[in-house]
Amino acid sequence: MAAAPGTLSFAVRSALGETGALGATVRQLARRVEDTPGRIEAVLDTLSRRGDVLRIGRGLWMLSAYERLDGRSDFVDPRAFVERFEQESGVSLGRYSGPITFRSNESLPVHRWWPYVQGYSAEFVAGVLAEQGVGRGSTVLDPFAGSGTSLVEARRAGARAWGTELLAPAVLASRVKTHLELVPSHLAAGARQFLVAARRRRPGPLPFLRETRRQFSLAALGELTRLRDALPPEGSPVADALRLAFGQILIPASRLHRSPCLGYDRRAREDGPGPFERFRAAVREMTEDLGVVRAERVRLGPPATVRQRDARDGGWPQRSVDLAVTSPPYVNGMDYVMNYKVDLAWLGYARSYGDLRALRRVEVACDNLPRSETAAYVAIDHLPDPWLAEILPRIRENIRRKGTYRRDDMHAVVHRYFSDIVPVLADVRRTLVPGGRFVVVVGDSLLAGTYVPGDLLLARIGAALGFSIVSVEVARSRRSGQRRSFELRESVVTLARPKSAG
């Protein structure tokens, strides 16, 4: 039954109609129709009992008519993009059936030293290396090295491993995890001495993060500051391993968790082991694992090189890499700086909010980027791919219709994201030997009610830069954070530098 014009019910329905597939929260609706949140909630309750409106997650409400995005005239669905991609590129989407997420690494020696939810599986990397015949004498590059999954596996395959990564804690993890020559008894002795020194210390100052006292119990803060202040300076294999063990216990010793975004854990772990005990356990795990991989040492490739820098700057020698394998940030997937701020602050890599902001300006674009960084991308021109000429205006239009969204320049964030990816693709192409491959694990996104095929766009941009598209294989499906019922995917895109091209 349609509500009569002039009633609150009519106003709420009209306001929801304007926000379309994006939906709106109670507070947003209250502002829009100039009424109280309490009265809006009551109207939504009635409308929802009638089946006229529904909740779509994160406190958002939507008209039921917008429930299915596909089929709407203002929505281009994943299938349509796949069809166009297959037609235009001549490449049909395939399937990758092995494990792809980091989860399987959590029980693997070495990989488990710094659980990185955003990482991919060691088994996936090992499979790619084997398939490409990587071995002694080969060079493998990972421009977004993260916790070093690719680099560890490349060394274990006998290859030279090169990586770049922006976040210092991840660089530390990559360095320690690739230094498998570390003698377990040296680490154990170093840890014993270190713990004696830490126990003798008094609790020290807290890092700059405003929420530190909420994030940790008082007892944990006391032990953590003593551990932190006793850490030897970075630079030797034992000192770096101790630092990583300290980094590894930070979140488990806090009231936070990552799933995958950093948030408070409702089941606070106040009564779990304290930081000293957790630290001892982390070092024990490392010494055990170093013992397990000891036999592999003779087969390892040369020491890995991990540079802390912006992947867009590249800088590796031309035609020197046999295989590049990576997983970049996804379109608006994750603000890594935000997610690793605790690690950055406690490990001394960021000393102020200004330091965090500076890092955010360099990381591949996500929606926490300051507006000054997207200003050059507001105009829909100079696009890395023609498909963006359709996608970006759709994002802009949906947000304009809704009136309130996290930010009104979201299309510029997406524009900048793909512009950030271009120099990385171009530089990897330059560093690959002719015939060399670039294997990229990347996902698609749903943003402001607009579908963005991140994997297909990356493949297309690669093709425009002179790669040939070897394959796009769907590895798994994911749920959209914006709308739980919407299925997204994660794909393995394989590009090749043609043998004959210059």
Ligand X SMILES: C[S@@+](CC[C@H](N)C(=O)[O-])C[C@H]1O[C@@H](n2cnc3c(N)ncnc32)[C@H](O)[C@@H]1O
Smallest distance, ligand X to C-beta of residue 449, A = 25
Q: Is the dihedral of CA 30, 33, 34, 36 positive or negative?
A: negative
Stretch that binds ligand X, among 16-24, 139-147, 175-183, 252-260 (CB under 6 A): 139-147
Rounded Cα distance, 59 and 68, in Å? 18
Q: Is 116 in the site for ligand X (CB under 6 A)?
A: yes
Q: Which residue is nearest to ligand X (CB)?
A: 146
Q: Which is nearer to ligand X, 28 or 101 (CB)?
A: 101
Q: Which is nearer to ligand X, 143 or 436 (CB)?
A: 143
Rounded Cα distance, 212 and 50, in Å? 46
Smallest distance, ligand X to C-beta of residue 313, A = 8
Contact by Cβ (8 Å): 40, 26: yes
Q: Which two tokens stand for residue 21?
A: 């597939």
Q: Which is nearer to ligand X, 98 or 435 (CB)?
A: 98
Phi and psi at residue 198, in whole multiples of 5°?
A: -65, -40
DSSP 24: B
Angle 407-338-403 (CA atoms, 0-180°, nearest 5)?
10
The candidate with the shortest Cα–Cα distance to 468, out of 182, 145, 91, 127, is 91
Rounded Cα distance, 456 and 444, in Å? 8
Query: According to CB under 6 A, which one of 327, 431, 482, 494 is a site residue for ligand X?
Result: 327
Query: According to CB under 6 A, which one of 311, 410, 457, 461 is a site residue for ligand X?
Result: 311
Smallest distance, ligand X to C-beta of residue 414, A = 16
Stretch that binds ligand X, among 28-36, 236-244, 325-333, 425-433 (CB under 6 A): 325-333
Site string for ligand X, 342-371 (x = CB under 6 A): --------------------xxx-------
Contact by Cβ (8 Å): 272, 252: yes
Q: Which is nearer to ligand X, 207 or 443 (CB)?
A: 443
# chain residues binding ligand X, by CB under 6 A:
23
Smallest distance, ligand X to C-beta of residue 110, A = 12
Q: Is 117 in the site for ligand X (CB under 6 A)?
A: no
Q: Which of residues 145-184 bind ligand X (CB under 6 A)?
A: 146-147, 149, 164-167, 170
Tell me, letter by letter, the H, E, C secondary structure of 295-342: HHHHHCCCCCEEEECCHHHCCCCCCCEEEEEECCCCCCCCCHHHHCHH
Binding site for ligand X (CB under 6 A): 116, 118-120, 144, 146-147, 149, 164-167, 170, 310-312, 327-329, 336, 362-364
